[in-house]
Chain A
Amino acid sequence: QKEVEQNSGPLSVPEGAIASLNCTYSDRVSQSFFWYRQYSGKSPELIMSIYSNGDKEDGRFTAQLNKASQYVSLLIRDSQPSDSATYLCAVNIRGGSQGNLIFGKGTKLSVKP
């Protein structure tokens, strides 16, 4: 059973701090990794994708991938109250239909003013 694991949280950080969200996955051959943000009552919204080991930065967001450790993380710098949401990690799966993703259960982030 291929799995994606995340801490459910809630993760609480003060405004302006760095929020660190973590995700591990079980399928060693996964090649594509995604972070989605989901506000309460809304649909998931893609914020980052990463395919190669190392860091990928986009504004205040940095995704980090370590395939050897089967670990992907999302750092949010200068956290804002508007970042308060649930963050979903998603990983593609191989051996099944190309393009299918497995989602973690999400980490709820709360940024306190």
Chain B
Amino acid sequence: IAGITQAPTSQILAAGRRMTLRCTQDMRHNAMYWYRQDLGLGLRLIHYSNTAGTTGKGEVPDGYSVSRANTDDFPLTLASAVPSQTSVYFCASRPRGGSTDTQYFGPGTRLTVL
């Protein structure tokens, strides 16, 4: 593993189903983020975690939950998917120190909820 990985790459999901998007980083970055990107709306922050064991809500948290049990993993769960959650989801991470606000992005997960 090098950098940030996300799984699955894409998924088609029936409405009402539960889904977990996975994000793993091997850079020992402290902070991690989940964004969704929609045409015309840009990147919007769903949830974030500044360090293992803590999480916070972003701009559009409703319908999503996250956990941060360790430094490397930051899964995003949709408890009961709805069509409006059709989007491209990006995970990002930020190192401690240096340029402290710089975020690096994973390759994304394209999710379609029918």
Judge whether B102 and A49 touch: CB under 8 Å.
yes
Q: How far is the CA of A31 from the CA of B100 in the complex (A)?
A: 11
Of the candidates B40, B42, B50, B90, the one whose C-beta lies within 8 Å of that of A43 is B90
How many of chain B's residues have a CB under 8 angstroms from any CB in A? 25
Judge whether A88 and B42 touch: CB under 8 Å.
yes
Judge whether A99 and B42 touch: CB under 8 Å.
no
B61 at the interface (CB under 8 A from A): no
* Most chain B Cβ neighbours within 10 Å, of A42, A90, A101, A105: A101
**Cβ of A21 to closest chain B Cβ, rounded Å:** 15
B58 at the interface (CB under 8 A from A): yes
- A104 partner residues in chain B, CB cutoff 8 A: 42
How many of chain A's residues have a CB under 8 angstroms from any CB in B? 22
- B41 partner residues in chain A, CB cutoff 8 A: 105
Given contacts A97-B56, A105-B42, contact A46 B104 (CB under 8 A): yes
Given contacts A43-B106, A99-B31, A100-B58, contact A88 B43 (CB under 8 A): yes
Which residues of A come within 8 Å of B, CB atoms? 31-32, 34, 36, 42-46, 49, 88, 90, 92, 97-101, 103-106
Which residues of B come within 8 Å of A, CB atoms? 31, 33, 35, 40-45, 48, 50, 56, 58, 90, 94, 99-108
Q: What would be 17 A-B contacts, judged by CB atoms less than 8 Å apart?
A: A32-B102, A34-B102, A34-B103, A42-B107, A43-B90, A43-B105, A88-B42, A97-B50, A97-B56, A98-B101, A99-B50, A99-B101, A100-B33, A101-B101, A101-B103, A103-B43, A104-B42
